[in-house]
Structure 1
């Protein structure tokens, strides 16, 4: 009888548990002062092990059984909010977090980090960068640069001295998907790559994903840098300005309609041209030469209803370089830049389903005009996209968060268009190699909390790429002469590629502060940047997959151990990876620019990279910062290069070390320092010199058979924030910094100098190193009111 009694009680409990009604808590997480939505803020339901993270628009949803709950909401750099809710019905909640006061010391400031989020999520290789962190670090010539800050992370290496370009886990610059409000930015460099196009005053959030790319991202092999622009303060008007050594910035933001809509406009311009102009006299052969760049970011957002939100944003940036040489009657004008515009509509269908529909236009162009005497030449190239996409977040249960969507992009490529004239003779060869393509993708992913130990992020993406007409394919003989052609009409498919791109990452929790993770990712890349240089330059060409050019394909395998120490004061991780890359592209040996279609000069091969990354991040206390170390190998093998033997890629760097430190002295002073060390770049050099017919000739080594000297540098900065005795409506600070503080002569490139004469046997050929930057001091004044 007792057994039956226990059975009835057990059955009643099971039935009661199954039948217990559940309710949903959803809403937005925002900055309590500006009204900006917070991306990736974390809500923890105490005592349940349930958590939820806000999406890219600050929206969250979590389903729980009816009852009373203690919840904690936190975000980097914000005060943690703890509150109690009695959930008896579906509840919509606006959660507002307050930024930490500038006068609060660092041990309090960072206590609002998402607790052990690096350990608990299934995502691997993801780094989130605070713009305030970037602003606190020493800056090259005083210009805060988020891309250079990303270079200080393990697995990310810089493209060269002072350059904003970067490579991730052995991949090239084109293998990084860089998004600004969902718009692809194809060229990220100002001043031939020394500064990035991203004005920190206009940026809200930056995230880098270099391992286990989620399924909503595609089209690149190595990484994603997702950058969100600020939406604008919807409570009050705010002005930020800064004056530096080479550039000034100005931003204004404020409400259009209080609490309902807002705007931000942010502009930046360098005045290198104004500084150098007085130094070049009118009698100089170089009078009229100059360079400048400028940026303009703008964004508006409108809350149309409780369920609908509209965002309109754009970016416009240009570089202009003039060079005159009166002695040779030569002048040139080079300009290049990006234009992007994004329209996004958010809609909340119900408590669990959120959608974002996006229309994007982006354009990158490069143009060169040169003239000497009566001869003129013009060279232009670029890429233009029109994109439509829709994404859905479905919070099925606390255990399952689904994300799915679709995307379409129409590409227009201008790999090379050359024209010119001499007097009345017009030079317009039939070399306009404009190409068109359509790119499609659909995806589905599930962030699945299997149990308290196991969490799986499983995604599947299918992509399709079609090269379309108008297009003419030429058949040539061995001398490059055209023999025959095939003409494709407008919209006609020339070549089609496609395939599945599965992604999976698994987290196994060891205890509350440590976990193991593993991931596998397959990526297809249909557009390619082909370059002769070691870094991305405006003259580099974007080309699509075509009849000759196949899409790049990679498999990446990664595993890691993640551990936090001392109550979350230290976050550490050790990740290892192995990546294969098929259909890599280089120019053939001996290539020189011509009027032929550039893809006829390509050769194809494969690459692979592997390594280990160590990351130690101190996030609490007056002293914060991190140590990032990468041990890596990157190889390439092309049948038509280096006699078919493997060689180190130009992106290969055996050792890469970054040490970053921030220290808060008091309310007025903060200091920061950065030290970087890297193995020297791999290069090809002449090994033998000899005379043929009285002309000095040289025989080169195998590709990248030698290395330049190791690179190392220290930067330091101090930020002074005066505290006036009387309260005022504005605040200011001064940032003093030294780039390359001990004036290390780091190698930029090598050249070979001849001394003496071959005729009397005294000829000596020696390698000379060119270095760019000695110690460079800078000062920047910032104003905010």
Structure 2
């Protein structure tokens, strides 16, 4: 069987001449429908159907919809999904038939724990490259920081994914910045994926159904970022009965409620989470005016209008709040809303129409007094799109669609909190922009061994802001001077059309081995302005302008994929090379905050990233887990920096190793561990000094950029999960999770700085900054009924 990419279902055929001839006969009919969980009604993304007599089959799309074209006749269909009991049905196909299936969870699995919720051989048989999925059941077994199950922290255990350090916002993929990742939650973009300054992500594990990370071979339906796509799908809600789940941990507690509105027709889920450090602060008299907490709320509802129509409404709201009396306050948060309509025109044509809104904003300031002020900034995104899937034949699936985005940016607005404040109101010009796109993408099977996915995306970006825009002149590497100010109102400030071709190929060497290759052209029109190694909530999003050009990336990748022992073991090696232009960097000492002439301090250059990713996974048995190792480089060349020579960028890590293991000691008890090692991040340190009035002043010589590295990072974590006694007649199920983070207490360097020695100001010393320098044990209680 040659299966396809998760998200489509297209009949794939073995090398049987009789089958090929029959499948092209004029008597073809189409079987279509939805594949769902029998207990909850959730769509089973990537569930498969197979006709053994013909050797054809395929998988369901993101909404559980499948379509399979066959010659008329009687067939036995086998429906399967990892962790579910297979179901067989014999159907007589005399005409097009709509037939939905519900699969039951496989309650007893002897000596088998599966790591990823997908087809066991999907990594070999699909045309996708650079794709990883995480199963939420596996994520919840991996050791967690302070008991908080975290999706982004688990993503960082995959090949090609790194972070600049503990407490850093977001993640980096194949040498790209955090703003170069397109993060979607139920198709709505999330502009800041972190709580608590990067320690935890905003995604509540109780509300997430499916997670897919794409690092190469990104389909033409997606654009706007250079490095990766993180596609997160929320649960639809239990359409069969009331379900409640949650947990109590060291940092936060969470609760999720899901239930049918109309059984088998409509359901909802509401999941909330809140930390409670502020509750303990109020109990301490000297801390009672301080606040430090985060919360998030995820909600989703769906309604089946009929056999061909279904509506989905989902939203996310989250915020971090910090206040230190009258000295300082800071808060930031995301809000998203998505309305989707699925429509089945006929058994071969599926449509999804989406409208959405996403907002990210932050505020900081001093609440009271003569220095009181409040600073606010935000980015808003309003989008609409229509996506179509046409199952043309057993050998071909066509996808096409259109989209439009309207952006608004407020880089900064400062207001005094009192009349006596020394601050005066300052408001940077708001900016507006539109982004339009259309795409077409076809996946086709050429014989029993070769599959090709060919796509083209056409995009158009226009900056439609009002205000005065300048050209800039001066010496590269130094602050530029604005000239030729031009007023814009009613006409585009800048327009950028682009073509973005995509190509992925898979060639099967054997039933368990394949070669894959892909090429991507990506364009990014909006940019995160961040002049720090680790991005912060205060960084500013800006659109492309006359001076800030769109970023482009061309990436090629080649991979070898091999499974062993009936898919119990999975192995792959992928090599990639990526070339980027219009990469943003900054002059030394650049001021990126509330700068009305920010473009005068920006520099632009080219980037390159290349490397190899090795991945070995054991997917079955009492011991499961994986080992990933990435060898790569990521560099920049910017005129005016580092004597115009190439230098390692701040996301470059030559060696990255992750080892993950989960061992099932008994049906109730499992233990787990993770080990991380990576090269230290590149940073700029002084390499000489001079004496001024008796003090030693450090100097970066020769205009060097990122000329040193912090010490290598490594960490070992341990965890254990103890389930309550199993009683099939009792709905209440519970478990305890125990974890020890940073087992041997290493003080991994987040950064380094230099200062005069207290006892001898004529000398300087290097000081290591660490987010965690000790062992962190934790415990959490989880339940569901």
Q: Give the TM-score normalised by the residue count of structure 1.
A: 0.93
Q: 157-166 or 406-415: which moved more?
A: 157-166
Q: Distance in 2 between matches of 1:112 and 1:715?
A: 24
Corresponding residue pairs, total = 760
Q: Distance in 1 between matches of 2:115 and 2:369?
A: 63
Q: Distance in 2 between matches of 1:424 and 1:708?
A: 45
Q: Does 1:338 align with 2:323?
A: no
Report the 3-state secondary structure (helix = DSSP H, G, I; strand = E; otherwise coil) of the residue aligned with 1:600: helix
In the TM superposition, what whole-angstrom CA distance separates every residue of 1:281-300 from its partner, at most 9, and x where no partner exists?
33xxx651221000000110
Partner of 1:654: 654
Partner of 1:602: 602
Report the 3-state secondary structure (helix = DSSP H, G, I; strand = E; otherwise coil) of the residue aligned with 1:124: coil
Report the 3-state secondary structure (helix = DSSP H, G, I; strand = E; otherwise coil) of the residue aligned with 2:41: coil
In the TM superposition, what whole-angstrom CA distance separates every residue of 1:183-217 from its partner, at most 9, and x where no partner exists?
00000111111111000001110000001101111
Task: Give unpaired runs (5+ residues) of structure 2.
Answer: 1-17
- Cα deviation for residue 339 of structure 1 reads 0.5
Report the 3-state secondary structure (helix = DSSP H, G, I; strand = E; otherwise coil) of the residue aligned with 2:54: coil
Report the 3-state secondary structure (helix = DSSP H, G, I; strand = E; otherwise coil) of the residue aligned with 1:133: helix
Q: Distance in 2 between matches of 1:13 and 1:606?
A: 51
Q: 596-605 or 658-667: which moved more?
A: 596-605
Contact 1:389–1:407 at 8 Å: present in 2 too? yes
Q: Distance in 2 between matches of 1:345 and 1:162?
A: 38
Q: Distance in 1 between matches of 2:333 and 2:597?
A: 23
Q: Distance in 2 between matches of 1:52 and 1:13?
A: 16
- Cα deviation for residue 540 of structure 1 reads 0.9
- Cα deviation for residue 81 of structure 1 reads 2.7
Q: Distance in 1 between matches of 2:579 and 2:728?
A: 62
Contact 2:461–2:497 at 8 Å: present in 1 too? yes
Contact 1:147–1:164 at 8 Å: present in 2 too? no
For the aligned residue pairs, the C-alpha RMSD in angstroms reads 2.3
Partner of 2:9: none
Report the 3-state secondary structure (helix = DSSP H, G, I; strand = E; otherwise coil) of the residue aligned with 1:232: coil
Q: Distance in 2 between matches of 1:374 and 1:13?
A: 82
Q: Distance in 1 between matches of 2:203 and 2:728?
A: 35
Distance 1:45-1:751 versus aligned 2 partners, 3 A rule: same
Contact 1:409–1:440 at 8 Å: present in 2 too? yes
Partner of 1:183: 188
In the TM superposition, what whole-angstrom CA distance separates every residue of 1:4-37 from its partner, at most 9, and x where no partner exists?
xxxxxxxx99999865400101000101110001
Q: 518-527 or 91-100: which moved more?
A: 91-100
Contact 1:415–1:598 at 8 Å: present in 2 too? no
Q: Distance in 1 between matches of 2:543 and 2:721?
A: 46
Q: Distance in 2 between matches of 1:648 and 1:247?
A: 38
Report the 3-state secondary structure (helix = DSSP H, G, I; strand = E; otherwise coil) of the residue aligned with 2:327: strand
Q: 113-122 or 396-405: which moved more?
A: 113-122
Q: Does 1:64 align with 2:70?
A: yes
Report the 3-state secondary structure (helix = DSSP H, G, I; strand = E; otherwise coil) of the residue aligned with 1:186: coil
Q: Distance in 1 between matches of 2:532 and 2:206?
A: 31
Partner of 2:105: 99
Distance 1:95-1:473 versus aligned 2 partners, 3 A rule: same
Contact 2:411–2:594 at 8 Å: present in 1 too? no
Report the 3-state secondary structure (helix = DSSP H, G, I; strand = E; otherwise coil) of the residue aligned with 1:136: coil
Q: Distance in 1 between matches of 2:684 and 2:352?
A: 49
Distance 1:42-1:765 versus aligned 2 partners, 3 A rule: same
- Cα deviation for residue 525 of structure 1 reads 0.5
Which among 67, 71, 74 is matched to residue 80 of structure 2?
A: 74
- Cα deviation for residue 694 of structure 1 reads 4.1
In the TM superposition, what whole-angstrom CA distance separates every residue of 1:558-594 from its partner, at most 9, and x where no partner exists?
0000000011101111000000010001222121345
Partner of 1:777: 777
Q: Does 1:706 align with 2:702?
A: no
Contact 1:249–1:269 at 8 Å: present in 2 too? yes
Partner of 1:4: none
- Cα deviation for residue 662 of structure 1 reads 1.1
Q: Distance in 2 between matches of 1:250 and 1:298?
A: 12
Partner of 2:238: 233
Partner of 1:741: 743
Partner of 1:38: 44
Q: Distance in 1 between matches of 2:23 and 2:505?
A: 29
Q: Distance in 1 between matches of 2:249 and 2:565?
A: 40
Q: Distance in 1 between matches of 2:328 and 2:113?
A: 55
Q: Distance in 2 between matches of 1:515 and 1:175?
A: 29
- Cα deviation for residue 427 of structure 1 reads 5.0
In the TM superposition, what whole-angstrom CA distance separates every residue of 1:420-476 from its partner, at most 9, and x where no partner exists?
366357855564221000000000001111110100011100000000032321467
In the TM superposition, what whole-angstrom CA distance separates every residue of 1:327-353 from its partner, at most 9, and x where no partner exists?
xxx522211100000000000000000
Contact 1:431–1:595 at 8 Å: present in 2 too? no
Task: Give unpaired runs (5+ residues) of structure 1.
Answer: 1-11, 325-329
Q: Distance in 2 between matches of 1:306 and 1:170?
A: 46
Which among 414, 417, 424 is matched to residue 418 of structure 1?
A: 414
